[in-house]
């Protein structure tokens, strides 16, 4: 069923924050969600209440049995942490993922389950995981900051030249402008630029909001930390747009078959 890849050429733009909060938004709306951490930093687990010393992860499980490494976080919410790894284990994982159709065949049960929404978090830039998942990815969500550097990335994204052309499968890519502060003129200008040139690709904006940082620090969803925060409202709107684009119904706990899915 739907696989959403949250990726970006740049680090520190909010990928992990977006993955965690989208997962909370969908799971509490009744959709079964698995979040998958493809970043060896292994930090996504910290947004889901796993203790720092919890080293579990799929990197050390047999490559055809990732399901056994899934951890149940909450009702409707599961996570597949990367795990603590050595250089050799990461190399072996990359080699396994480089097998043709690794995600279609080897991980088919997890990544092609019609009842589970997969939201995947990546390290910045090109990675083997991003290349391998491209064949099953239905949508790429690219968080960017509304700064000068991002403007050059927008045009690269549009021409398909970003991250070695790995962004653009399924429905294609959608941008989220993160850490927006409307008091900053450049932030307003970048929003105008995006609205003018990339309106179709602009999924939404997330305001700069300390609730997000505090929530992460306390291993909570931003909704639980402060449901009236600007970021919580923003994520809710983005989640609804994502569901609409992927063609599934939230709030009823059901998902329709995605008509764009290439079987
Ligand atoms: N809307 C926001 N308002 C305030 N702080 C934010 C917001 N979004 C993210 N942050 C903070 O910015 C920092 C970077 O966010 P995050 O770790 O999600 O980025 P990332 O793209 O996953 O980074 P990396 O490339 O290292 O994986 C974190 O401290 C996070 O709490
Ligand atoms: Mg991250």
Q: To 10 degrees, the CA torsion angle through 140, 141, 145, 150?
A: 20
Structure tokens at 160: 């398909």
Structure tokens at 98: 């480089």
Residue 1 pLDDT level (bands cut at 50, 70, 90)? low
pLDDT in tens, 115-152: 889 999 999 998 999 999 988 899 999 999 988 888 78
Strands ordered across the beta sheet of 139-145: 71-74, 77-80, 33-37, 117-121, 3-6, 139-145, 173-180, 202-207
Q: Give the structural domain span for 134.
A: 3-246
If you measure from the C-alpha of residue 73 to the centroid of ligand 1, how many angstroms do you get, rounded to a whole number?
21
Percent of the chain with pLDDT over 70: 89
Mean pLDDT of 191-219: 83
Residue nearest to atom 18 of ligand 1 (CA): 14
The mean of the pLDDT values for the chain is 85
Residue 104 pLDDT level (bands cut at 50, 70, 90)? confident
**Under a CB-based contact definition with an 8 Å cutoff, are residues 180 and 209 in contact?**
no
The reply to whether 233 falls in a domain is yes
φ and ψ of 89, to 5 deg: -65, -40
Q: What is the pLDDT of residue 217?
A: 74
The binding-site residues of ligand 1, defined as CB within 6 angstroms of any ligand atom, are 11-17, 39, 124, 178-179, 206, 208-209, 212-213, 216, 231
Q: What is the pLDDT of residue 98?
A: 93
CA distance 214 to 225: 8
Name the domain count of the chain: 1
**Is the model more confident about 111 or about 130?**
130
Q: How far lies 66's CA from each of 90, 114, 123, 211, in Å? A: 15, 17, 19, 33
CA distance 39 to 162: 19
The reply to whether 252 falls in a domain is no
- What is the Cα 214 distance to its own chain's centre? 20
The reply to whether 65 falls in a domain is yes
- As a three-state string, the secondary structure of the chain is CCEEEECCCCCCCCHHHHHHHHHHHHHHCCCCEEEEECCCCCCHHHHHCCCCCCCCCHHHCCCCCHHHHCEEEECCEEEECCCCCCHHHHHHHHHHHCCCCHHHHHCHHHHCCCCCEEEEECCCCCCHHHHHHCCCCCEEEEEEECCHHHHHHHHHHHCCCHHHHCCCCCCCEEEEEEEECCCCHHHHHHHHHHHHHCHHHEEEEEECCHHHHHHHHCCCCHHHHCCCCHHHHHHHHHHHHHHHHHCCCCCCCCCCCCCCCCC
If you measure from the C-alpha of residue 252 to the centroid of ligand 2, how many angstroms do you get, rounded to a whole number?
30
Protein residues near ligand 2, an ion, with CB under 5 A: 15-16
The reply to whether 186 falls in a domain is yes
CATH of the domain at 213: 3.40.50.300
CA distance 211 to 217: 10
- What is the Cα 80 distance to its own chain's centre? 13
Ligand with smallest separation from the Cα of 10: 1
The reply to whether 45 falls in a domain is yes
Mean pLDDT of 190-206: 88
If you measure from the C-alpha of residue 65 to the centroid of ligand 1, how many angstroms do you get, rounded to a whole number?
31
pLDDT in tens, 17-76: 999 999 998 998 888 999 999 999 999 999 898 888 999 999 999 988 898 999 999 889
The reply to whether 263 falls in a domain is no
The reply to whether 254 falls in a domain is no
The reply to whether 260 falls in a domain is no
CA distance 167 to 49: 30
Pocket test for ligand 1, best of 10, 16, 45 (most atoms within 8 A of CB): 16
pLDDT at 262 over 50: no
φ and ψ of 85, to 5 deg: -140, 155
């Amino acid at each position: 069923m739907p696989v959403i890849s949250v990726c970006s050429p740049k680090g520190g733009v909010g990928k992990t924050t977006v993955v965690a909060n989208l997962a909370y938004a969908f799971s509490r709306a009744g959709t079964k969600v698995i979040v998958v951490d493809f970043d060896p930093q292994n930090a996504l687990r910290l947004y889901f209440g796993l203790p720092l010393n919890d080293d579990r992860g799929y990197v050390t499980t047999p490559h055809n049995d990732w399901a056994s490494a899934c951890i149940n976080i909450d009702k409707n919410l599961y996570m597949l942490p990367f795990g603590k790894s050595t250089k050799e284990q990461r190399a072996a994982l990359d080699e396994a993922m480089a097998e043709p159709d690794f995600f279609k065949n080897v991980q088919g049960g997890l990544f092609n389950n019609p009842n589970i929404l997969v939201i995947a978090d990546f390290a910045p830039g090109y990675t083997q995981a991003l290349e391998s998942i491209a064949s099953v990815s239905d949508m790429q969500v690219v968080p960017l900051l509304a700064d000068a550097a991002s403007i050059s990335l927008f045009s690269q994204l549009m021409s398909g030249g970003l991250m070695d052309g790995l962004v653009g499968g399924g429905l294609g890519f959608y941008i989220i402008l993160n850490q927006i502060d409307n008091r900053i003129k450049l932030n307003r200008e970048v929003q105008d630029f995006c609205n003018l040139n990339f309106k179709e690709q602009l999924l939404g904006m997330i305001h700069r909001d300390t609730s997000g940082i505090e929530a992460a620090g306390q291993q909570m969803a931003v909704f639980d930390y402060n449901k009236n925060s600007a970021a919580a409202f923003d994520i809710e709107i983005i989640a609804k747009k994502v569901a609409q684009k992927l063609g599934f119904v939230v709030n009823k706990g059901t998902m329709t078959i995605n008509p764009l899915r290439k079987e």
